[in-house]
Amino acid sequence: MMLKRTMVVVAAFAAAIATSLTTATIATADPNIAGTFNKLTPTRLLDTRSQGGMPLKPQQTLTFNGTAGIDGTVNAVALTITAVSPTGAGWLTVYPTGGTKPLASTVNFLPGRTTPNSTIVKTGTGGSVSVFNGSTGTVDVLADLTGYWTGGTVDPTVAGSMNTLTPTRIVDTRNGAGTPLAKKSTLKVPVEGISGVPATNVSAVAVNLTVTNPTAAGWLTADAEAPPAEALTSSLNFLPKQSRAALAVVPVNPDGSISIYNGSTGTAAVIVDILGYFNDGTPSVDGAYLPSTPFRAFDTRVAGGALSALETRTFQVLPNDGVTPLIFKGLTVTVTAVTPQNPGFFTAWDGTTSLPPTSNGNFLANEDSASSMIVPVNPNDGTVSVFNGSYGNVNIIIDIDGFVLNDVTAISTPAAAKAMIAGKSHTAVLTDAVARVRAFAAKHS
């Protein structure tokens, strides 16, 4: 596990953790601490194909309620935005309603290609979110809600809480004297002290990565450090001359930077838009975020085989040991569809409900496509369910980028699990839990 700096734990909490984890019942109420994540059953908030039946016109902006169905205050929402059947090449920019449209892109697309991307967006006037069509053609837009961050003033001392920002472009290698990122090379991007991010006390940043004009097929890996030896996971996959965007939640290096590795055999222009940041420290409250060096949790090419047409498969992403699925309520993951036989989409959710009418990622035949998201985990067994919404086979890769905590002071564990946490500090409980997840993941990847 990668933790950016030495973590400080409140002494009273550390002393109580071993007993409180074994005696209390699991929390069911949403947290009331600003900047903490709340999971929801995935819900479709916007579909211009059915809501008025009018696609978004060129250079047009539409507004929708980003907090529909949420009972409580909201700082930001986790959305999957999908551009459907665009008639021209371009992009969508998603931003808080009432604010100035930023120089940033959320989804990049080509004519006729349905393209999704997950994003974290601060809510604007009346809880609304705006979408701008930056193309010369029309495009239908879908918006699926998967969770939200509690509203209010975020306390900088609450580790793992998220501070949302209006999207801001911090890197564009096309500008000025900039040059594309060379093959098999790494771009270091300073993030602390830039565009609203504090100069200290930052564990991770949420960014939107865009690749444009790549000269060969490949991928980008965003990490605290991403030399070739570590770039075994992907944040974004692309084909030659293709513009693609992807959400990434990236740990921050001790020097205040993140790294982006170009895993292709050609050059690629890279754009980075910053969306928010997470407070440093050891997280301990419900909905707080714990960043991690990305690692591969599941690869159906190694275990299980490809998903067949319209198949839903349950993936054991956390060891079902009676405690780990209760410590982590959700994960930030990158799900990659590999060599799909047919075009389609996938939906990832915790499997505790029937298949939701939403999608997390779309893909074309024979084209690898990666989508990053925050996905809840089934608290009963540590699984995530994935539906293959295509009429052909597709392999699935799941890479874990970080962990969303449950209320770790309110977990009841079976007797067999008590030995895992007895006498350990809170930091040790989390460190051991992540180590168990990594060891378990190694069996499937």
Banded model confidence at residue 413, pLDDT cuts 50, 70, 90:
low
Do 35-153 and 163-285 fold alike per CATH? yes
Q: Which of 17-21, 167-171, 194-198 has the lowest mean pLDDT?
A: 17-21
In the prediction, which pLDDT does 426 show? 82
At 431 the pLDDT is 92
Q: How many residues does the chain have?
A: 445
pLDDT-derived band at 10, boundaries 50, 70, 90: very low
The percent of residues above 90 in pLDDT, for the chain, comes to 73
Lowest mean pLDDT among 95-109, 213-227, 389-403: 213-227
Any idea which of 100-109, 147-156, 260-269, 425-434 has the lowest mean pLDDT?
Answer: 425-434
For residues 100 and 103, what is the distance between their CA atoms, to the nearest angstrom?
Answer: 9
CATH number for the domain running over 163-285: 2.60.120
Output phi, psi for 313, to 5 deg. Answer: -125, 140
The answer to whether 394 and 387 are in contact (CB under 8 A) is no
pLDDT, tens digit (0-9, with 9 covering 90-100), for 293-336: 889 999 999 999 999 999 999 999 999 988 888 889 999 999 99
The end-to-end CA distance of the chain, in Å, is: 18
Q: Which residue has the higher pLDDT, 434 or 228?
A: 434
pLDDT over threshold 50, residue 21? no
Banded pLDDT at 414 (limits 50, 70, 90): low
Q: Indicate the average pLDDT of the chain.
A: 88
- To the nearest whole percent, how much of the chain has pLDDT over 70? 88
Is the pLDDT score of 125 beyond 60?
A: yes
Edge-to-edge strands of the sheet including 257-262?
186-190, 257-262, 218-223, 236-238
pLDDT digits (tens, 9 = 90+) for 132-184: 999 999 999 999 999 999 999 999 999 999 999 999 999 999 987 679 999 99
Between 416 and 139, where is the model more confident? Answer: 139
Q: What pLDDT, on the 0 to 100 scale, is given for residue 22?
A: 37
Q: How much is the pLDDT for 8?
A: 31
Higher-confidence residue of 229 and 412: namely 412
Q: In the prediction, which pLDDT does 30 show?
A: 53
Strand ranges of the sheet holding 115-122, from the earlier edge strand across to the other edge = 37-47, 140-150, 74-84, 115-122
Which one, of 360, 378, 379, 359, lies nearest residue 370 by Cα?
360
pLDDT of amino acid 27: 39
The pLDDT value recorded for residue 328 is 93
3-state DSSP helix/strand/coil percent for the chain, to nearest 5? 10, 45, 50
| Mean pLDDT to the nearest integer, 219-227 | 82
Q: How many CB atoms lie within 10 A of CB 259?
A: 20
Report pLDDT for 41: 86
The single-letter code of the amino acid at 400 is: I
Class of CATH domain 35-153: mainly beta
Domain range annotation of the chain: 1-27+288-445, 35-153, 163-285
pTM: 0.89
Strand partners, 149: 37, 76
DSSP secondary structure of 301-335: TTTT-PBPTT-EEEEE-S--SSSHHHHEEEEEEEE
CA 48 to chain centre: 24
Sequence letter at residue 218: G
